[in-house]
Amino acid sequence: MNKTAHTIFIGAMVIIIIASVIGLTYKGFNYYGITLEDRFFLPQHESLKPSGYLGHGYGIVGSAMIIVGLFSYMARKRVKRFARLGFLKHWLEFHIFMCILGPVFIVFHTTFKFGGIVAISFWSMVAVVLSGVIGRFIYIQIPRSVEGRELSLNELCVMKAELTDIISESSEIEGDISGILQDAFANRPDSSRKNIFAKLFNGYRYDRAIFKKLKRDLKKKNLTRANYKKACKLLSNEISLNRKIDMLNSMRNLMEYWHVAHLPFALAMLVVMLIHVGVVLTLGYKWIF
C-alpha cells in the first residue's frame, strides 16, 4: 500500500466512524434525548429499544465488529501463515477502526442505559477503547520498519548514522547547523529520570525549541523555498530519531505494562458479552434469524 492509498485508507475509516455517529444520532435523536419512561410512548420505541429491530441489530453489528477487529489482528500477529497478508501496522489500524466503530454501535444498542452484569462489559469496553488510545500513542513512539516490525537499537543507530551523513553532506545544512544539532542533543534533558511521562514531555518540549532555533538559523542562509523545506525535513527526522532512540527502552517497558492493563479489560468485555449473548438467545431473542 503506497502513501496515497494509505492516506485514503485512514481517511475512509475516519469518515465511516464520523458518519456512523452522525447517522445513528440523527436516527434516534428524539428517542435518546428523553427519559426512559417517556420513550415507551414514542413510535420509535419498538424499533430502537435494545430488543427492537434496529436496537438489536446495533448490538449484533457492534459485537461482530469488535470480534472481527480483535481476532483478525491477533491472527495476523501470531499465526505465521498469515505473516504475508499485508503489513502489521495496517492490520493494527484496521483493529483500531473496528474496535472504535463496534463500541459506537454497542452504545446505541444500550440506548445509553447501562445496568446489571452488562454494565461490566460496557465499562470494560470503555476502558479497552481508552487504553487502546494510550497504547496507540505508545506504539508510535517505538521506531518500526515499514512493515510495522519493531526496530532494534543497532538498526536505529545505523539509521541515525546514515541520516547524519546525509545532513552533513547536504549543501543546504552545512557548517554551523550540523554543529548546533550535535550540541543540542549533547545538552538534552537527563533521560534517566524515573517519571517516564515527565521525561517524554520535557524531551518533546526541548526538541521543539531546538527545531525552532534550527529553522531560524536556516532562514538566515537565504535558501530557496524548496531547499528550506528539504533541510527542515532532514532536521526534523534527525530530531525525531534521536528522541526515539533516547526513549526506546522506556517505551518498550511501558508497552509491557500497558498490555497488563489492556488485556484483562478486553477479556472481561468478551466474557460478559458472550454471557449476555447466551442469555439473550436462551430467552428467545433471535433478531431476524
Amino acid identity, residue 128? V
For residue 75, the enclosing domain spans 3-149+254-282
Same domain, yes or no: 79 and 122: yes
pTM for the complete prediction? Answer: 0.70
Q: Tell me, yes or no, whether 287 lies in a domain.
A: no
Mean pLDDT of all residues in 9-27? 94
Residue 108 sits at φ, ψ, to 5 deg, of -75, -30
Separation of CA 111 from chain center: 26
Model confidence at 7, pLDDT cuts 50, 70, 90, reads confident
Which among 217, 254, 214, 262 is positioned nearest to 237, based on CA atoms? 214
Same domain, yes or no: 73 and 135: yes
Window from 56-65, 73-82, 123-132, 207-216 with minimum mean pLDDT:
207-216
Same domain, yes or no: 177 and 212: yes
Start-to-end Cα distance in the chain: 38
The count of domains in the chain is 2
- Interacting residues of 165 by C-beta distance below 8 A, sequence separation 6+: none
Q: Tell me, yes or no, whether 289 lies in a domain.
A: no
- Write out the H or E segment, with its range, that includes residue 181: helix 176-186
Same domain, yes or no: 213 and 90: no
Same domain, yes or no: 276 and 201: no
Model confidence at 194, pLDDT cuts 50, 70, 90, reads low
Same domain, yes or no: 272 and 205: no
Task: Provide the grid cell at 262.
Answer: 489492556
Same domain, yes or no: 77 and 178: no
Share of the chain above pLDDT 70, in %: 76
Same domain, yes or no: 85 and 195: no
Same domain, yes or no: 122 and 209: no
